Amino acid sequence: MIVGERKKFDEIWESIKNYRSVLILGCGTCVAVCQAGGEKEVGLLASELRMKSQMEGKDINIGEATIERQCDKEFFDSIKDKARDYEAILSMACGAGVQYCAEILEPIRVFPALNTRFIGVTEQEGNWSERCRACGNCVLGTYGGICPVTICAKSLLNGPCGGSKNGKCEASQEKDCAWVLIYNRLKKQNRLENLKAIFSPRDYSLQAHPARVVNEFYTRPTISSGEEKHAK
């Protein structure tokens, strides 16, 4: 999932303090799971902003709403009319959601309330760790399900550097060396021969931005039932 964390309150306040009405828009999927931008977090931020506006002698109308996802256009339909009543929107989605919100609801001004951190997993309650860089060329099958691009501090594809020691990364003694992890995993799988292969340098053209993926299923012409029978 995409992991985000809320910006510092002072930064959020500075972005919206000069508006008379602000809608805080939450996202009910990834950032709700990591307790950064769901309905509960929308309510907490709204309370903080209302208190701050009173302390500053400002009369700011703070609204609240949460949709299931801010990265899918159809979920905005339920709040479009409500959003038009506000001068600005404070989006509690990831960076993709903030951009889509600004596009769909323009010309309303949209500000981010979160910093998007990484694609990761839930290790335990309240603890998330990065596992994927979305590099466009997945090598997990070769390396036993451990990503050297993400887990290795130097993103090395052909074994460890000379700085690892006692299974730890030279960048931090709190961090396991990715290549020790890969070796141990492949050993358990009886696949150590995979380490003999030499990977070519990464193809950075696969990371051209902004990237786009189009599922061919949605671009195929529709076949009528009569044509389908004839084709068979």
> pLDDT tens digits, residue range 39-79?
999 999 999 999 999 999 999 999 999 999 999 999 999 99
Cβ–Cβ under 8 Å, residues 107 and 83: no
pLDDT at 201 over 90: no
108 part of a folded domain: yes
Using pLDDT thresholds of 50, 70 and 90, give the confidence band for residue 226: low
> Is the same domain home to 42 and 97?
yes
Q: What domain count does the chain have? A: 2
> Is the same domain home to 187 and 97?
no
> Is the same domain home to 8 and 110?
yes
**Nearest CA to 179 among 159, 198, 165, 164?**
159
- Which residues are CB-neighbours of 109 under 8 A, at least 6 positions away? 19, 87, 88, 89
> Is the same domain home to 140 and 33?
no
CATH number at residue 53: 3.40.50.2300
Cβ–Cβ under 8 Å, residues 41 and 34: no
Dist CA 111 CA 90 (whole Å): 5
Given 90, 118, 146, which residue is the final one in a domain? 118
228 part of a folded domain: no
> Is the same domain home to 18 and 102?
yes
**Higher pLDDT pick, 12 / 225:** 12
> Is the same domain home to 54 and 78?
yes
> Is the same domain home to 46 and 83?
yes
Distances (CA, A) of 82 to 6, 22, 86, 202: 24, 11, 8, 46
> Is the same domain home to 9 and 114?
yes
pLDDT at 222 over 80: no
> Is the same domain home to 56 and 153?
no
**Nearest CA to 92 among 43, 19, 48?**
43
What is the structure's pLDDT at 52?
98
> Is the same domain home to 70 and 156?
no
| Positive or negative torsion for Cα 89, 93, 98, 104 | negative
Residue range(s) defining the domain that contains residue 196: 133-201
10 part of a folded domain: yes
> Is the same domain home to 101 and 32?
yes
| Positive or negative torsion for Cα 63, 68, 69, 72 | negative
Dist CA 78 CA 84 (whole Å): 12
- pTM, two decimal places: 0.85
